[in-house]
Amino acid sequence: MEYDDSAFYYFSMSLLTCLVVPMTVLLLKDLVYGPVDLGCDNNNCKCSGCITTLVNKKVEVKRNMWTPNFYFKLGCIALLWCLSVKNF
């Protein structure tokens, strides 16, 4: 009977780990780079007008990412991390 209890904890911890780690990496990627791909592969024009336009687009994308959807993802990930910590 003890084996069944401990097996559940190992199984739940493996499932939580497989969910929480990739979700956290994706959320951090959104925080660092923004949720929209601007197509910046270093093949853009290097003139001052294009550079300022690209910088302005990056700032706008990062400013507009703080939506209710982002807060929902953040809350779900925080809840899953709490469950993971409780599971230890």
Give the range of the structural domain holding residue 13, as residue numbers without chain letter.
2-87
- Give the total number of structural domains in the chain: 1
- Nearest residue to 58 (alpha-carbon basis) of 71, 45, 41, 40: 40
Q: Convert the pLDDT of each residue in 72-83 to its tens digit.
A: 999 999 999 998
pTM recorded for the entire structure: 0.65
Q: What angle do CA 34, 17, 68 make, to 5 degrees?
A: 35
How do residues 12-53 score in pLDDT, each as one tens digit?
888 888 999 999 998 888 887 766 666 655 566 777 877 787
Is residue 77 a contact partner of residue 23, using CB atoms and an 8 Å limit? yes
Which is it for the CA torsion 35, 69, 82, 62, positive or negative?
Answer: positive
